[in-house]
Amino acid sequence: MVHTELGPVKRKQRTKMSSVKATVEQVTAMIPICADAKDVCSFIRACDYACEAVDKDSTPLLVKFINTRITGKTVEVCR
């Protein structure tokens, strides 16, 4: 029987999610339309993710798009 000594394996460093940035077009496709109270929780979660996923320079454009996804009773509450 032959015994082989194993050493440490060098792995590629993983890319953290925070360092991967998406475009405004990519994240806006994931933001649902918020029209009623039942939509608010998923809408807020999607908006939070979208803000984290884009560059800081793109945030003002993203906020303008997010405002277009608010409809129905939710618009009245936001005014």
Q: Tell me the pLDDT tens digit for each residue of 57-77.
A: 999 999 999 999 999 888 887
- Asked if the structure places residue 4 within a domain, the reply is no
Token pair listed for 67: 């405002």
Cα 70 from Cα 74, distance rounded (Å): 6
- What contacts 46, CB < 8 A, 6 or more positions away? 30, 31, 32
- Asked if the structure places residue 44 within a domain, the reply is yes
- Asked if the structure places residue 33 within a domain, the reply is yes
In 10 A of CB 33, how many CB atoms?
13
Total tally of structural domains belonging to the chain: 1
What does the angle CA 23 – CA 25 – CA 31 come to, to the nearest 5 degrees? 110
- Asked if the structure places residue 19 within a domain, the reply is no
Give the max Cα distance, the chain. Answer: 78
- Asked if the structure places residue 35 within a domain, the reply is yes
Domain span at 57: 24-78
Which pLDDT band holds residue 21 (cuts at 50, 70, 90)? confident
Say whether pTM exceeds 0.75. no
- Asked if the structure places residue 9 within a domain, the reply is no
